[in-house]
Amino acid sequence: MIKLSKKVEYAILALQYIAENSSKTNTAKEIAENLTLPYEFLSKLLQTLMKKGLLVSQLGVKGGYKLAKQISEITVEELMNALDERSNIVDCADGDSNCCSRTEICDIRSPIMNLQEQINNIFKNTTIANLKNNL
């Protein structure tokens, strides 16, 4: 179905929100409320982005999140990787093999990989900042 997962969608919105409010640390709760996103889910997601180095977190009261890098320097590809969402269109894309029957003698693997690269390029060339209307 070639769909961006909610994780990715929420993360884009959250990153843009944090970018707009970069003067302070933003709590997961505040972001969730302002964007009307499920708090627990968003919370998990932000923690992941932190661990992957896209966000910096501060624990405790007055804690929250800030950007670790500008959203103009975060590509969609990077975001997907951080969220463990591979942009693979077939399972064998990262070497796992048997994405389709007859793996060994697969007739379509190489051309499928070509498709894959075209798609990767799109995500590689789009940053979170690019995904805003009001530039």
Partner DNA sequence: CAAAAATACGATTATTTTTATCCGAATTTA
Partner DNA sequence: TAAATTCGGATAAAAATAATCGTATTTTTG
Q: Which is nearer to ligand FES, 51 or 102 (CB)?
A: 102
Q: Does 16 bind a second copy (CB under 8 A)?
A: yes
Binding track, positions 76-105, relative to ligand FES; x by CB under 6 A: --------------x-x------xx--x--
Please tell me the distance from the alpha carbon of residue 36 to that of residue 47, in angstroms, as a whole number: 18
With CB under 5 to 8 Å by kind, the binding choice for 68 among a second copy, DNA, ligand FES, none is none
Structure tokens at 85: 């969402």
- Binding of DNA at residue 95 (CB under 7 A)? no
- Which one, of 118, 98, 83, lies nearest residue 4 by Cα? 83
Place of tokens 């966000």: 55
Q: 4 and 10 in contact (C-beta within 8 Å)? A: no
Distances 20 to 9, 11, 13, 67, 76 between C-alpha atoms, Å = 17, 14, 11, 10, 18
**Contact pattern for a second copy over residues 97 through 126, marking x by CB under 8 A:** --xxxx----xxxxxx--x--xx--x---x
Residue with tokens 């894959």: 116
Residues contributing to the site for ligand FES (CB under 6 A): 90, 92, 99-100, 103, 106, 108-109, 112
Residues contributing to the site for DNA (CB under 7 A): 1, 3, 5-7, 10, 27-29, 38-41, 43-44, 46-47, 50-51, 57-65
